[in-house]
Amino acid sequence: MSASSGRPELLVDHGSGSEGNLAGPPVGRVSADVTVATCATGSPLAHGAPRCELRVEHDALAERLAARSSIDLVRRGALTGFAGFIVSGLAVKLGFDRWFSTRPTRFVGPPVIFFSALALALVLVSFAARYVLYARRRMQVEDAQFARMQELRSRLELDP
């Protein structure tokens, strides 16, 4: 704490300059009420919104859109759909061997494995459809956010 003002002081290291950076002032003391220049200097745009508020919204949208979560849902749906396709092929083969095979050594026991494979295939296909539907909804939201970010970029004159 500073004896004169009663405010806490922070130590600030401006770098020693030994890493090839420009040498700054030596380590010094800065009072805690020093603030970074923020929206107070922003100039209003045509629609009345301060420039820095638009920039903050732009940065938040850019961070949110950096990784599209809908792609992960599409991938998960495709993998689940592929597994459902494989298991449904297994169920068809088991059903064919149980009821339509003409081999003398065909399986004549209860069709428990067939019904289990059929149930698993239906569950996997329903999950795949659910993932794809969620991905489409998420893509619509991401597209709307991307359009908003493009509008902000044009209003902030970030694109040439």
DSSP 15-70: --STTSSPP-PPSEEEETT-----GGGPPB-TTS-BHHHHHHHHHHHHHHTSS-HH
pLDDT tens per residue across span 114-144: 999 999 999 999 999 999 999 999 999 999 9
Does pLDDT of 13 surpass 50? no
Q: What is the pTM of this model?
A: 0.60
Please name which of 134, 135, 148, 141 lies closest in space to residue 54, comparing C-alpha atoms.
148
**Cβ atoms of residues 116 and 139 within 8 Å:** no
pLDDT tens per residue across span 56-85: 888 888 888 888 889 999 999 999 999 999
Task: Work out the average pLDDT over 42-49.
Answer: 49
Phi, psi of 45 (to 5 degrees): -95, -175
Kindly state the helix (H) or strand (E) to which residue 12 belongs, with its residue range. strand 9-12
DSSP assigned state of 139: H
Q: Hunting for tokens 């298991």 — which residue is that?
A: 87
Q: Tell me how far apart the alpha carbons of residues 129 and 143 are, in angstroms, rounded to a whole number.
A: 21
Domain boundaries, the chain: 1-34, 63-155
Residues 43-49: contacts with CB within 8 Å, 24+ apart?
Answer: 45/155, 47/155
- Which pLDDT value is given to residue 11? 42
Distance of CA 71 to the CA centre of its chain: 9
